[in-house]
Amino acid sequence: MVRDPGRSSECSLAFASTECLSHAELIEAPVRWPRPSRLQRELEVPGKKLRAGMQSLGLETVGDLLEHLPSDSREARTVKALRAGEQATVAVQVRAIGARAVRRRGMRPLVEATVFDATGTMRATFFNQPWLVERYPAGTRLLLHGKADARGGFTVSHHAPGSETGGDGVAAGSGESDAVAHYPAAEGVTSTQILTLVHAQRGALADVVEALSAATRVAERLPDRASALAAMHFPRLPQDPETGRRRLAFEELLLTQLVFLRRRAARRARTGAAVLADRDALGERWLAHGLPFELTGDQRRAIDTIAADVARIAPMQRLLMGEVGSGKTVVALYAMLQAVGHGRQAALMAPTETLAEQHFATIQQLLGSGVGGHLISTALLTGSTPARRRRDILAKLNSGELSLIVGTHALIEPDVAFDALAVAVIDEQHRFGVRQRAALGEREERDPTGPPGPRLAPHMLHMTATPIPRTLALARYGDLDTSALHELPRGRQPIETRLVSGEAERAQAYEELRRELAAGRQAYVVCPLIEEAEEPGTGDSGMGAAARTAGRAAGAGGGLGLRAASAELLRLRSGELAGYELALLHGGMRPREKHEAMAAFASGRAAVLVATTVIEVGIDVPNATVMLIENAERFGISQLHQLRGRVGRGEHRSRCLLVGAQSSGRLQALARHADGFRLAEIDLAMRKEGELIGTRQSGLGQFRVARLPDDAQLLELARARAEAILAGDPELRSPDHALLGVALERELGAQARAPIPA
């Protein structure tokens, strides 16, 4: 209540206005509740062409229209600033309007209006729409889009009513607003036509449902949903569109984080896992006595976190990120030994036979002759395991005789049954399908003697060598816990990375390479293509999307001067690397040929491996000290970083030579930074919209309003808010959160029941 100097009695201010209401007036004032059903009304659209256009945009109801957000807002010009011949939008008011007959046959009368803003007056002409005389009487505020001529005339191509109420919306010439919402349009419908329709439905904003509680809005300092939409459609201040967008983006991010967190909670509630709580079990003993080196700090932290995870009855779902060579296998082995030490089983699944074989070798080497006198029965199961051996392994997995198994997809074939699988590790998890990963998680403990009660799910550790920036991890793997290994193990040599541009520098680079070979070292030469004249990206090279489009745009690969592995091999054999043994490796080769090439390089018989990016994973040759990458700007930052991780794996100093333009920001970043996480962040920041072909896969393009990585901070806020909301009200049952629950089901109902994302 305030005292109104103009009135004798006390009065109340009407909400969001300066109008003063007496007690009696207050009682009389109509109460208005939102009626969301009105948003479902079909949109009335004049004209067949326009209707088709709106339909192609998917805009059929009033609600659809209000949610069709402007892509940006365009500055409106003042009348004075118009230049002849230029397309522009102006916000004006009508002073006088009238129709005039046109002599040409078939033409309807044209409409001429005198319009003005604070800076001047002009004559606006509308063709073929005589009814506008009635629709836009003197005093109407208008948004006009069209072309000015040199004589104070303006030919209107599109028009929309401005806002009627003074000080609200577009105030013609008041200087208060000169921003006009601009919409994604389509064939048959322009942005200004959409604006006209939005204007006509402005009243429906009152029916928009507010999903955020007042407490959340106050805490995050966000406007309500209707105001946010109004701020985007009808900006009054330059910052309005962004303020509105931010609010809508927050809601969107909050909903996805709620889905992640609830999905995680649901999974935990559904099944329990074996409680591996005894820290004296094999894992710990192995760390204390069996490990031939000291753990890095990151490894220690990851192991401690995992030890706590597997000691709980809730199944672990953790993503372990660490570059190649950062020592993930050691961490995974610890988790697996915790299972074995508790009398249960563990499995590690890798995407290729080579990787599985490598893990198996690493594990055998790390376990040596057992842990504290305890021999651990291990086996390798892949597609090429002989039938007899496979039968034997399956029997022993089933009986529990076999404790630890490493393998490929062969591990999830239907006839593979575990006795008591308590820890499952998936390496290079993104290379498996959702179903494949879930399949390993469903290899539950079998308890034929016990009652048919709830069964146990294994603790899951997902591993990836791709460093994922936190923003991306939250947006995409929000229902996994994450651990990262940043540090490389002690004794690892930093890799010197340099750009090589032009023929002279390239000749020098090959000389460097030959010096290393002469000293007994080995080298990789990486090319973007397999065959000459092949289209980039069609082979196994797995180049970045940017490179693929660039390649396509410019025609066939050969014409781009891209190097192909097979041709390069021949060229080098008789050129720069004459006299050395060269091996060829690419995805077009048969498995046996690949195997031979890798064996030749690993044994040192071949001094140089000329390859496509198939070497990204799966090769560990410590004697290789040089990597030369042709057409380096054709690859993505992360991919190049991953590639160069193939060198610097032994005791010798190593280098990576990137053949490409000095001006490339991506290549410069690689030369400057060694930390993959840092590079991943730079990569994310440097990507532009047009370049983001793979946005959907990268998890960035899944949002309608939010923009990542720009909205990273907003994402953090949304995550924290989602956690706080669910901590107090896990089922979203309180009146405060009921509408949030409705929005969640409407927007993301299906996702709420989805498995762990890919």
| List of residues contacting ligand ADP (CB under 6 A) | 293-296, 299, 322, 324-330, 362, 489-490
- Taking the complex as a whole, the smallest distance from the CB of residue 507 to ligand ADP amounts, in Å, to 34
Task: Give me the least distance between CB of 246 and ligand ADP, in Å please.
Answer: 39
Closest to ligand ADP by CB, 249 vs 346, is 346
Nearest distance, CB of residue 311 and ligand ADP, angstroms: 23
Nearer to ligand ADP by Cβ, of 256 and 482: the residue is 482
Q: CB of 287: closest distance to ligand ADP in angstroms? A: 11
Q: CB of residue 639 vs ligand ADP: minimum separation in angstroms?
A: 16
> Do residues 397 and 417 touch, judged by C-beta distance below 8 A?
yes
Which residue number, 192 or 338, has a Cβ lying nearer to ligand ADP? 338
Q: Is 608 exposed, middle or buried (0-12, 13-18, 19+ CB in 10 A)?
A: buried
Give me the least distance between CB of 528 and ligand ADP, in Å please.
24
How many CA atoms lie less than 13 Å away from 18 in the CB half-sphere? 2
Question: Please, what is the Cα angle at 661 between 658 and 663, to 5 degrees?
Answer: 120
To ligand ADP, the closest distance from the beta carbon of 619 in angstroms equals 11
Least distance to ligand ADP, CB of residue 732, Å: 40
Q: Which of 170, 174, 188 is nearest to 89 (CA)?
A: 170
- Using the minimum distance from each CB to ligand ADP, give the nearer residue, 204 or 640: 640
Task: Name the minimum Å distance from CB 291 to ligand ADP.
Answer: 8
User: In angstroms, rounded to a whole number, what is the distance separating the alpha carbons of residues 408 and 410?
Assistant: 5
In terms of CB distance, is 296 or 403 closer to ligand ADP? Answer: 296
Under 8 Å between Cβ of 562 and 530: no
260 versus 360: smaller Cβ distance to ligand ADP:
360
Comparison of 329 and 483: residue with beta carbon closer to ligand ADP: 329
| Joined tokens for residue 520 | 């007994």
Q: How far apart are CA 149 and CA 82, in angstroms?
A: 9
Neighbours of 24 (CB within 10 A): 9
State both tokens at 168: 């609200």
DSSP string, 487-532: SPPTTPPPEEEEEE-HHHHHHHHHHHHHHHHHTT-EEEEE-SBSST
Q: State in angstroms the smallest separation of the CB of 715 from ligand ADP.
A: 28
Nearest distance from C-beta of residue 466 to ligand ADP, angstroms: 12
Strand 20-21: give its sheet, edge to edge: 2-3, 10-13, 20-21
Residue whose CB is less far from ligand ADP, 230 or 332: 332
Q: Please say which residue, 236 or 649, places its beta carbon nearer to ligand ADP.
A: 649
d(CA 27, CA 190): 45
Q: Please give the structure tokens belonging to residue 50.
A: 């326009």
As a dihedral over the C-alpha atoms of residue 566, residue 567, residue 570, residue 576, rounded to 10 degrees, the angle is -120
- How far is it, in rounded angstroms, from Cα 144 to Cα 192? 9
Torsion of CA 19, 25, 27, 33, to 10 degrees: -40
Question: Least distance (Å) from ligand ADP to the CB of residue 577?
Answer: 29
Which is closer to ligand ADP, CB of 195 or CB of 465? 465
Look up tokens 């498996």; give the residue: 432
In angstroms, give the least distance from the CB of 490 to ligand ADP.
6
In the complex, what is the shortest distance from the CB of residue 521 to ligand ADP, in angstroms, rounded to a whole number? 19
**316 vs 366, which CB is nearer to ligand ADP?**
366
- Provide the H-helix boundaries in 83-150: 132-135
The smaller minimum CB distance to ligand ADP, of residues 170 and 619, is found at 619
Closest CB 489 distance from ligand ADP, rounded Å: 3
Phi-psi region of 686 (alpha: psi -120 to 50; beta: other; left: phi over 0): alpha
Q: What are residue 628's DSSP bridge partners?
A: 525, 657
Comparing CB distances to ligand ADP, the nearer of 191 and 326 is: 326
Q: How far is the CB of 290 from ligand ADP (least distance, A)?
A: 12
In angstroms, what is the minimal distance from the CB of 360 to ligand ADP?
A: 11
- Least Å distance, CB 621 to ligand ADP, is 12
The token pair that represents 397 in the structure block: 């997995």
Phi-psi region of 325 (alpha: psi -120 to 50; beta: other; left: phi over 0): left
User: How far apart are the C-alpha atoms of 471 and 669, rounded to whole Å?
Assistant: 20
Output 363 or 726, the one with its CB closest to ligand ADP: 363
Q: Which two tokens stand for residue 375?
A: 């021999």
User: Is the CB of 326 or the CB of 612 nearer to ligand ADP?
Assistant: 326
Are residues 236 and 213 in contact, defined by beta-carbon separation less than 8 angstroms?
A: no
The residue (of 193 and 326) whose beta carbon lies closer to ligand ADP is: 326
Tokens of 42: 């079909």
Q: What's the rounded Cα separation, in Å, for the pair 490 and 694?
A: 36
Spell out the residues 6+ positions from residue 210 whose beta carbon is closer than 8 angstroms to its own.
34, 224, 225, 226, 739
The sign of the torsion formed by the CA atoms of 567, 572, 578, 581 equals negative
If residue 159 lies in a helix (H) or strand (E), which one and from where to where?
strand 153-161
DSSP string, 676-703: HHHHHHHHHHH--GGG-TTHHHHTSTT-
Output 362 or 668, the one with its CB closest to ligand ADP. 362
Closer residue to ligand ADP, CB minimum distance, 212 or 324? 324
Structure tokens at 268: 């935990």
CA trace torsion 381, 358, 349, 320 (10° rounding) = 160
CA angle 743, 744, 746 (to 5 degrees): 65
